[in-house]
Chains A and B, each alone.
Chain A
Amino acid sequence: MTRLGMVIDLSRCVGCNTCAVACKEENNEPLGIWWNRVLTVGGGDYIDVPEGEYPNVDMHYLPLACQHCEDAPCVKVCPVAATYKRTEDGVVLVDFDRCIGCRYCMAACPYGVRNFNWGEPVYSPGVDFPVGHQGDHYDKYNPSRLVYMPERPKGVVEKCTFCVQRIDNNEVPFCVETCPEGARVFGDLENPDSEISGIIQNGNAQQLLPELGTNPQVYYVPPYQKKGIVPDYANQSVINANESTIAPGQSIIDLAEENGYVSGFVPPQSKKKGGE
């Protein structure tokens, strides 16, 4: 069997938001809707603000979209089976023909990545045609399910599909193609020889909120650990960064604890997450 997954290497992520904008373009997301956002794990209410006291400051970025959980809470609560997990590759999808807009899934999702079309979709001024993928797309394995349409109407829930319209045609998700730092890798988690499996094994990759048992198909390589001798400003000296006491990946777990230090542009309906 195939389990499609993504690994995001936070040690290479520079928070540029190219992936977020790529997602916005490919999937024709209306204003106010972002399937994929780049959060700052730092010290303020805004992106790019570190924590600490100058110059002993720290931050990293955390791109966040649907985690395509193995045991997806959203799937369980959907009363009409609009949200479903594709058995063939484990991708979690929304059937726009079926979604009734009850938003149970949004309440159930622990990652706050689902967006709801509260009103008529509004797009970039002047761009009065759908951008990105053109035309509807039906699930490759379940051709009655409408899993992509360029303009989702008011009243449906939408979220990252791993660019189902692309992966069904053997292309990688658009964020993977566009990430300027090569921080994103897509592939089959079940195949031990795949690039993604190698990175997960060697890079100490982690899932978000592992304690919830959702078992996401999205993994993160921890933020960059500095190496070598670095200045120690408090003592006007130098220290060895290799002896830093920060545990690898600690910051990812910070997110799990919702410590309020996560900032980013958060769609209004998901505001309960993060520190906004």
Chain B
Amino acid sequence: MVKEGYSVSLREALNPRLSRRKFLALLGAAGVTVGAYEILRGSVLKSLQPAYEEQITNASLTKVRTAHVNNCDGSCGLLATLNGGEIVKFSPATFNDPDFPPRICLRGLSQIQYVYHPDRLKYPMQSVGGRGSGQWKQITWDEAASLIASKFQSISSQYGSKSIYIAPYTGNLSVINGLIGVGYRFASVIGASAGDFEGDNEGDSASPAGAVEELGAFDGHELNDLVNSNMIILWGNNLAETDIPDMRFVLDARDNGARVVYIDPRYTPTAVVADQWVPLRPGTDGALALSMINVIINEGLYNSNYMLNYTVGPFLVRQDTMLFLRENDLSGNGSNNYMVYDTVTGQILPYNSPGVVPALTGTYKTANGVSVKTSFQMLSELVSKYDPSTASNITGVPAQAIQQLAEDFAKANPAAIKVGFGGISHWYYGDLTYRALITLSALIGYIGVHGGGVTTYNGALLDAATDLTDWLTPDGKQYNYIPPLSFADQVFNGNIKAAWFPCDNFINQQGDTNRTIKAIEQLDFVVVSDAFMTPTAKYADIVLPIATEYEKTDLLLGGNFFLQYTPKLIEPLWESMADLDMFALVASKMGYGSYFNGTAEDYIGLVLSGFPSGTTLDDIKANGNVMRLKDEDIATSSYQPITKPYVPFYQQSFPTPSGRIEFYVESVVPYYKTGLPIYKEPNEASPQNVLYTKYPFVMITSHTRFRTHTQWDNLAWLLEINPHQFVEINPSDAAAKGINDGDKVKIYNDRGYIITTARLTPGMRPGVLNVYQGHWSDFPTGTVNNLTNQDINPAQSVVYLFQSNTPYFDVLVNIEKVSS
């Protein structure tokens, strides 16, 4: 970055080989105006200014509001300071909302190092030595676009256009150049396949499945609703390290008297500031929740009125088919009505019959001899197997502590459960665990009330209210949906022949890296567009340099309840290009240019036109590049009117088949043989697994504050604080293995291995290892996903467009010291 004026000359002047006083003299003598700055110093200043004034007129400093659009979901507003053509500072920016303070974290503050990083991809390149060889040839954008277009066209004509797969973005949550953006439009227009809308290419979460099954929608409380809670359970959610600014709301509630409970096998920064840390065996959260339900039912602490009227509690379930008993089952009249046992008449009647007073509990027989139970009866029977002492044996939490926790929760009125996208969601049976938590919350009537609920995502559920059809699927052209977690399978069975990974470090982050690489090696053609030569980019045939979020115009509408306009601050560096322009270039070579004629602002306008409120980009700009969503944009009409802070299901209506909270879910019966949120031992990471003798450590891969997934892994300031990659191991385990602090260790299982450094910490549970996920695959040896698996839980895929998660934590390994 060589530029005129100030920086270069001042830098030279400040070179210690030139004395500083000499520099002053130079300035004074020549009266130099240095670049954009008028530097009035020393004696010059004194003669000009009788009193103090800022001695530097920062005439060329401008401040522009933008946002941090990475996949942390914090979506903090950033105020960028520009000095001429350079971004010289990021600070927290206002949201123009007294209830939502400015926010930032160390990652947002380090963004300058990202923009100007010397390792950024600078021009398009073509692989010349074969995939992964590291040998590249510089080509022009025009050559690159022509190559991609002709390759896509020949693959289309040979295998069909659906064999081209456009992976979803994960590193950018914006609506034009990112997650909900131009990649889908491109895929739709050329008739290709694309991943899911969730933006979790790697299937990062099971909670959407559980939420949609039980509540009908994946929706959460607005963050500042936490101050209305009397108790907050951070369940497997290391909020103070991952969504650092979100933790402020928990601390505000705590200092206001709320009790903060943190459930996690590891001792973390969140445990430091919580009232209670509840360590448990990894993957047994469901058993803990069921045991709490057991206590609450046994002690009569549940809200029977709520269970009767807002959940499927009184609905009868056939014990032969395990499906709800329907009116049609008895009368053959074709009615799908749910049935209840009427305590007035002693008959089984449709739930909505006039005057019916349904029983919440009980086992009955229908006229035709079918045994039926109320859902609540079945729940009670299920949880009776998880009394606190039994659950204590499963989870490792003292029985008395479970009892106390359940009582505290039931009496808090209200209590909130806050879950992360990682944590309980990174298990094969994460959907069941999440449903157990919703059931626990519903049992007291905490759903849909201020200060209650079970929340994973604090942002607005935009796809419920906004219509993105014209942007993503123009003229009715619709991409073919492929769950990204099935990527390798789809390659192996010939359905995918070419792939494009835009801002997506897929190889690094997908479970079972070696399997993923095998799949990628089989592809005819791979394109990666990114800012860096990521481990994924190394496997591309064509690599395209992408402009950073600060070099392109966009709109961010995720992570919170604000629309944030993120204008281009500086021109794209080197030959990097905005995603929109890149896809437009390739599309035009393929004859689809007319779909990409607009500017980013045009398309933001198109996206906004799908908002019921009619908010325009000019409105957002006029409000300082940020605007809280209008009520009518936040959720569908069935949610209206909404309350502030936003609380989902505030109207106590649920978009489930029954319109109620379905803690009994029919659609999963084929998979689980019951619709209840049962507890199942971890699929892989259980002592009951035969592999356990060979691989006796559970390995979890949590998130570090020094990265957002794989992003920011190469920023100098963060590396200074956190220079080492390591595995956390309890000192007793380390001693048994002859491992000392700082030793080189190998962690391995049948899928692969990594080499890393041991960090001994008593904060780590014995029998469990933690390796922070997201480090690039030169670890020194291997990404941690060499060890994880791609086991897909089909029960989660009953939910449309939310694929099953990758069970990142459901992993068994062994560890050994590497003799130097």
Where the two chains meet, the residues of A that have a C-beta atom closer than 8 Å to any C-beta of B are: 11-18, 20-22, 24-26, 31-32, 34, 43-55, 57, 59-61, 96-97, 120, 124-138, 140-141, 143-144, 149-151, 153-155, 168-169, 174, 177-178, 180-182, 223-224, 226-233, 236-238, 241, 265
Contact = CB atoms under 8 A, between A and B. Distances in A.
B7 A180 contact: no
B7 A226 contact: no
Contacts of B11: 128-129, 151
A276 to B, nearest CB: 13
Interface centre among A17, A49, A135, A238 (most CB of B within 10 A): A135
Contacts of A232: 398
A97 B25 CA distance: 13
A24 B90 CA distance: 12
B251 interface: yes
B661 to A, nearest CB: 29
Given A14-B270, A128-B7, A182 B37 contact: no
B760 to A, nearest CB: 7
Interface in B91-133: 91-92, 101-106, 109-110, 112-113, 116-120
A134 B106 contact: no
Contacts of A22: 104, 106, 109
Interface residues of B, number: 97
B45 A17 contact: no
A238 B278 CA distance: 11
Contacts, number: 258
A258 to B, nearest CB: 21
Nearest to B18: A153
B109 A25 contact: yes
Contacts of B118: 125-126
Nearest to A139: B52
Interface in B44-68: 45-46, 49, 52, 54-56, 58, 61
Contacts of A140: 52
Contact of B764 (A54, A130, A182): A54
B762 A52 contact: yes
A49 B1 CA distance: 40
B103 A238 contact: no
Given A54-B267, A128-B2, 4 more contacts: A17-B106, A21-B717, A131-B89, A232-B398
A22 B109 CA distance: 6
Interface stretch (B161-169, B238-246, B373-381, B415-423): B238-246
Interface centre among A61, A128, A134, A177 (most CB of B within 10 A): A134
Contact of A50 (B101, B116, B240, B267): B267
Contacts of A223: 272
Contact of B244 (A46, A125, A131, A180): A180
Contact of A24 (B267, B274, B717): B717
Contacts of B81: 134
A128 B41 CA distance: 23
B86 interface: yes
B463 interface: no
Contact of B113 (A126, A177, A182): A126
B109 A136 contact: no
Contact of A53 (B39, B46, B408, B762): B762
Contacts of A124: 112-113, 116, 715-717
A18 B14 CA distance: 29
B643 interface: no
Given A16-B240, A97-B20, A151-B14, A229 B762 contact: no
B273 A54 contact: no
B725 to A, nearest CB: 12
27 contacts: A12-B251, A14-B269, A22-B106, A22-B109, A43-B761, A43-B762, A44-B760, A46-B761, A48-B268, A48-B269, A49-B762, A50-B762, A54-B765, A120-B16, A125-B119, A128-B1, A131-B112, A134-B37, A134-B56, A134-B61, A137-B54, A153-B20, A226-B274, A237-B400, A238-B404, A241-B276, A265-B720
Contact of B763 (A49, A155, A169, A224): A49
B818 to A, nearest CB: 20
A20 B722 CA distance: 13
Given A134-B61, A136-B56, A231 B398 contact: yes
Contacts of B760: 44, 49
A130 to B, nearest CB: 7
A145 to B, nearest CB: 11
Nearest to A230: B276
A154 to B, nearest CB: 4
Interface centre among A45, A57, A233 (most CB of B within 10 A): A57
Given A124-B113, A144-B46, A238-B400, A180 B247 contact: yes
Interface centre among A15, A32, A231 (most CB of B within 10 A): A231
B552 interface: no
B397 interface: yes
A49 B718 CA distance: 18
Given A17-B106, A20-B106, A49-B759, A177 B92 contact: yes
B736 interface: no
Going nearest first, the 10 A-B pairs with the smallest beta carbon separation are: A135-B56, A14-B240, A231-B401, A180-B245, A126-B118, A153-B16, A126-B116, A21-B106, A129-B7, A124-B716
Given A46-B759, A129-B88, A178-B104, A25 B273 contact: no
B259 A15 contact: no
Interface in B241-279: 241, 244-245, 247-248, 251-252, 255, 259, 267-270, 272-279
A186 B227 CA distance: 24
A168 B349 CA distance: 77
A98 to B, nearest CB: 11
Contacts of A55: 267, 277, 279, 765
A31 B716 contact: yes
A272 B16 CA distance: 28
Contacts of B255: 12
A137 B39 CA distance: 10
B205 interface: no
A144 B397 CA distance: 65
A59 B247 contact: no
Contacts of B279: 54-55, 233
B689 interface: no
Contacts of B716: 31, 124-125
Interface in B266-299: 267-270, 272-279
Contacts of A127: 112-113, 116
B392 to A, nearest CB: 8
Contacts of B56: 134-137
A233 to B, nearest CB: 7
B275 A180 contact: no
B89 A26 contact: yes
B37 A61 contact: no
A178 B77 CA distance: 12
B721 A241 contact: no
B404 A129 contact: no
Contact of A126 (B1, B761, B763): B1
A43 B397 CA distance: 24
Contacts of A32: 720
Interface string B757-784: 0011111111000000000000000000
B686 to A, nearest CB: 20
B705 interface: yes
B763 A16 contact: no
A241 B112 contact: no
A149 B248 contact: no
B42 interface: yes
Given A17-B705, A55-B267, A120-B16, A143 B272 contact: no
Contact of B276 (A126, A134, A226): A226
B730 interface: yes
Given A25-B109, A233-B398, A265 B272 contact: no
A180 B109 contact: no
Given A16-B105, A31-B716, A21 B110 contact: yes
